Amino acid sequence: KNEVEQSPQNLTAQEGEFITINCSYSVGISALHWLQQHPGGGIVSLFMLSSGKKKHGRLIATINIQEKHSSLHITASHPRDSAVYICAVSFLYSGGGADGLTFGKGTHLIIQP
């Protein structure tokens, strides 16, 4: 079964702390996405990774294909970073190409001032 596991499920931290959210998956993937969902439900795509590391502002995403694991880091966290962070993957299919995503359950992050 193709699964995506995220940890932790909930995380509360103080402003300024370094945040790490983890994602692991069960089988080979073509791409991994990190998404941010705000209370209203809208989703913003943060990163798409197929290898290595990407950085955007205070956000860093890494992926280790061999270990089937990815991490999302937030440096100098701020209360406005409070949201649900979701890992989603495109699993490899024999036909190749992109398909619908399989999502993790999300990490509820709260940054307290």
Q: Whose Cβ is closer to other proteins: residue 63's or residue 86's?
A: 86
Name the one range near other proteins by CB under 8 A: 10-18, 55-63, 70-78, 91-99.
91-99
**Residue 14 CB, nearest distance to other proteins (Å)?**
26
- Asked if 107 touches other proteins (CB under 8 A), the answer is no
> How many residues would you count in the chain?
113
Contact 3, 87 (CB under 8 A): no
Q: Whose Cβ is closer to other proteins: residue 42's or residue 113's?
A: 42
In whole angstroms, what is the distance from residue 69 CA to residue 10 CA?
A: 19
Contact 32, 48 (CB under 8 A): yes
